[in-house]
Amino acid sequence: MEHFLATVATDAVANVSGVVNWARAQFAMTIIFHFLFVPITLGMSVLVAIMQTMYYKTGKKEWKATTKFWQKLLAINVAIGIATGIIHEFEFGTNWSNYSWVMGDVFGAPLAIEGIFAFFMEASFGVVSLFGWKRVGKRFHLFSTWMFAIGTNLSGLWIIVANSFMQHPSGYKLNIETARAEMVDFSRIALQPKAIDTFLHQMSSAYMLSATFMITISAYYLLRKRHITFAKRSIAVGITFALLNAYFLFLVGDMQAATVTNMQPTKMAAAEGLFKGEEGAPIVMGMLNPSIKIGDNDKTAVFGIPFPKGLSLLGKHSLNAFIPGINDLVYGNKKYGILPAKELMKRGKVAIDAMYAYHAAKKIKNTSEMKKQKDIFEKHSKYFGYGHLKNEKDIIPPISTVFYSFHIMVGIGSFFMLFFLFMYVKVRKNQILENKLFLKISSITLWLSYIGIVTGWTMAEVGRQPWTVFGVLPTSKSATPIHLTNVKATFFIFLTLFVILGFAELKMMLKQIKLGPDSHEEEV
């Protein structure tokens, strides 16, 4: 406890620019690599279940061949995904022990549910689904495939709940005795709007990526005139799935934009490059002015296409609503009741000083002083995190990174809405083979999906900075105070491991794609 107060409640975390940055780089590397596999698992498990249902209902061997082919690719993906995902559990203890100390009781609960309940479903029913074709009855086998799909999606749910707590902490209180967060209402954590919106957005984006995974491989076969029947069937399923999710993404994206605007205004201001808040704020699709700085009133964009009042409509669902800009959030805005960052920092320092004074009084058993300082702490505890910041401008995340990540994600999503609508029409008219250009574009949609989903998460995570838990615990106070050499060493060890696993996964995938569906079960 005393050591923790020395590292978190003061500035004793050593080498912030070194250890913290390398720890962040290591976590970013591992999560990005792991996330190459997660969306495919989430979406393909559902797609495989749908295709197996078609086989169950029709009894047609071509649906069985289609199911088994995509199931093999799913199994390879799951195996590598599990191997890479385990590393994250260790990183919370090795590199982020201060974070684990403060938030572990709250953050650990959804992760524990994910591991005990959801992952158990995945492991148990996944084995039956993959190896039970000739060992169990058709009905139980189909049931196992659906339970595996449900389990993988439940895993995603509880991971999102944990992440959403970091984005918008609720249902907890800080205990002055232990300097730790304690859960007071699990339902507020699990059912808060941020968790629901993010889960829906994440699931639909994962389904979109899985659909493009199927579309890309099917387009590859069609362009080379191999497995035509199989490929046409698969691309039809993939395009239908992609089209539905493209428009669902638009709807849940609108919901999430409103949630972010209200709960994380600094993130939305950076994402739109809005420096001066205004009523009826526009959306500008263009290039950010590279010379503009916090406090400036210059033009946000060098050039761009403005959508008048678009940001007010997106963020507040009102054409004339006020959207705070970066300058308002840093320097305050009396008209709209926005406190300046310096005032938030001042109140945060009061909370920190009260915590110190409380423990000093506790040592000499001064109960009246303990009560006084506890009252002060509880009054100012919601500002506790701001007391650690050094500069008022630190509340703003890296603007250009968040801005371009957000706009790339939106651009790809808009393209998919139009492209898959066109392709769906062609599939319905059985004209898919006549459009070589669009088949070629289809063959790269997987990579566009990856770019869209990675930039989306970049916007979400970088936009949360400088916080590990938004407004409560800064990233600079979350790292383990260990020697920089240790973090660097594990970074390169993991990087080497991931390169090996990546090549192994790619080799196995390409081998299965080259072999194609089982020839004795599929007419080509």
**Residue 324 lies inside a defined structural domain of this protein:** yes
Residue 211 lies in a domain: yes
Please give the Cα distance from 239 to 415 (Å, whole number): 14
- Count Cα atoms within 13 angstroms, Cβ side, for 127: 5
In a domain, 523, yes or no: no
Domain assignment present for residue 271? The answer is no
Q: Is the residue at 393 inside a domain? A: no
Could you tell me the pTM of the whole model? Answer: 0.87
Q: How would you write 414-432 as a 3-class SS string?
A: HHHHHHHHHHHHHHHCCCH
How many domains does the chain contain in total? 3
Predicted pLDDT at 14 = 45
pLDDT recorded at residue 55: 93
120 lies in the same domain as 182: yes
Whether 504 is in a domain gets the answer yes
Q: What's the confidence (pLDDT) of residue 254? A: 84
Final residue in a domain of this structure, among 353, 388, 423: 388
Tell me how far apart the alpha carbons of residues 196 and 306 are, in angstroms, rounded to a whole number.
30
Nearest 5 degrees, angle CA 12-CA 166-CA 490? 60
Task: Specify whether 235 is located in the same domain as 291.
Answer: no
User: Looking at the structure, do residues 71 and 151 belong to the same domain, yes or no?
Assistant: yes
- Indicate whether 395 belongs to any domain: no
Q: What pLDDT was estimated at residue 403?
A: 92
Q: What is the pLDDT of residue 17?
A: 63
Residues 163 and 304 in one domain: no
d(CA 289, CA 68): 51
Say if residue 421 is in the same domain as residue 370.
no
Q: Which domain holds residue 363?
A: 341-388
In terms of domains, do 118 and 233 share one? yes
Q: What is the pLDDT along the chain (524 residues), one digit of tens a residue?
A: 444 454 554 444 445 568 888 888 888 888 888 888 888 889 999 999 999 999 999 988 888 989 999 999 998 888 887 777 777 777 887 888 899 889 988 988 888 888 787 778 888 898 899 888 888 989 999 999 999 999 999 988 898 999 899 999 999 999 998 889 999 999 898 888 888 888 999 889 999 999 999 999 999 998 888 888 898 888 989 999 999 999 998 888 888 888 898 899 999 999 988 888 889 888 888 788 777 888 877 667 666 677 888 888 888 888 899 999 999 999 999 999 999 999 999 999 999 999 999 999 999 999 999 999 999 999 999 999 999 999 999 999 999 999 999 999 999 999 999 999 988 888 888 877 777 888 888 888 999 999 999 999 999 999 999 999 999 999 988 888 888 888 889 889 888 988 888 888 888 888 888 888 865 444 43
Element (H, E) at 247: helix 228-263
Q: Name which of 255, 241, 252 is nearest 43 in CA terms.
A: 241
Residue with tokens 């493209």: 246
What is residue 373's predicted lDDT score, i.e. its pLDDT?
Answer: 93
Does 80 reside within a domain? yes
pLDDT at position 391 is: 92
Q: Is residue 378 located within the same domain as residue 476?
A: no
Query: Quick one: 204 and 109 in the same domain?
Result: yes
The C-alpha angle 329, 256, 465, rounded to 5 degrees, equals 45
Q: Is the dihedral of CA 295, 298, 299, 302 positive or negative?
A: negative
62, 180: one domain: yes
Radius of gyration of the chain (CA): 25
Same domain as 247, residue 105: yes
242 and 377: one domain? no
20 and 150 in one domain? yes
